[in-house]
Amino acid sequence: MASLKIKGVNKKTWVDYLIVILLIVIIFITFYPFWNVLILSLNDPTDALKGRLWIWPRAWTFNNYIHFFEQEIFLNALFISIMRTVIGTIASVLFTSAFAYGISKKYLRGQKIYIAMMMLTMYISGGLIPTFLVIQGLGLYQKFLVYIIPTMFSSYYALIMFTYFKTFPKDLEESVKIDGGNDFVVFFRIVFPLSKPIIATIALFNAVGQWNSWFDTLLYGGTKLMTLQALLVTIIRDIQQAQELLKSGQLAQNYTLYKPTIESVKATAMMITAIPIIMIYPFLQKYFVKGIMIGSLKG
């Protein structure tokens, strides 16, 4: 809130203090799950079994992480996750923004039809099973591209971009075209750099979506294309199977002093999936808050 010109108004009442205290409590509760898993991952596994780790690790160790990265299954999953996030995000951003730019031009023939087609998909959809059958039919089953192609476009993001692109002045384009540039030049050299905030927001959302997704791995991925998140889900869902794996010595083979437990492996995996996002989103906060505002103006 802006400054109030009337004197005596900035005096804090007991309500203000109450609000601050409540907010601190809320923030603490919100943050705690993350903190708890963090300290669990930094604690020796056997010691962690004793429980009661609230605030700080009792038996500090980085072994959980070191040994995590020594397992081929995990390294593979990490690689796939990174690949799909990077490639998927670039593909999505280009694909979606190009479309949004295209339909923002009034002189496009059939502009209204294309817009309608896009908007319609926000309200109705074919459902889980028909989509599943289409993907199988296309031969994408258990191929890496299944992580990229079916998620390349999103009407919601396209809408945000479309609203933004519409505000561009025509002269900008025209001056480039007079100099002999075509639409591609206009788009890449001018529009793209000017839309950095929006692009950053969409890129962030896409990246988070790609990094966090696990269901499509379960449905379409198969074991060779396991992602980090899906690995975590397997550990949760099939804790029996995961424990067998640990006991059978596949993971504990080379370890004499370090004995992993399912809980510590889980905690480490959780941290690895969470930390990249946690580190990035605060920096883009400004942008996506604005993006939500723009998107909400559509009505």
Within residues 56-115, the interface with another protein by CB under 8 A covers 95-96, 98-99, 101-103, 105, 108, 114
- Figure out which of the listed residues 25, 66, 116, 117 binds another protein, where binding follows CB under 8 A: 117
Q: Tell me which stretch binds another protein (CB under 8 A): 67-75, 167-175, 233-241, 243-251.
A: 233-241
Q: Which residues contact 162 (CB under 8 A, 6 or more apart)?
A: 100, 103, 104, 115
Which of residues 106 and 256 has its CB atom nearest to another protein in the complex? Answer: 106
> What are 229-236's contacts with CB under 8 Å, separation 24+?
229/81, 229/273, 230/77, 231/73, 231/74, 231/77, 231/269, 232/266, 232/269, 232/270, 232/273, 235/262, 235/265, 235/266, 235/269, 236/266
Q: Are 132 and 219 in contact (CB under 8 A)?
A: yes
128-147 positions binding another protein, by CB under 8 A = 128-134, 138
Which of residues 52 and 180 has its CB atom nearest to another protein in the complex? Answer: 52
247-276 positions binding another protein, by CB under 8 A = 263, 266, 270, 273-274
Compute the distance between CA of residue 40 and CA of residue 115 in angstroms, rounded to an integer. Answer: 49
Which of residues 76 and 121 has its CB atom nearest to another protein in the complex? Answer: 121
- Figure out which of the listed residues 152, 185, 246, 252 binds another protein, where binding follows CB under 8 A: 152
Compute the distance between CA of residue 162 and CA of residue 156 in angstroms, rounded to an integer. Answer: 10
Q: How many residues bind another protein (CB under 8 A)?
A: 87
160-219 positions binding another protein, by CB under 8 A = 183, 187, 208, 212-215, 219
- Figure out which of the listed residues 93, 160, 202, 232 binds another protein, where binding follows CB under 8 A: 232
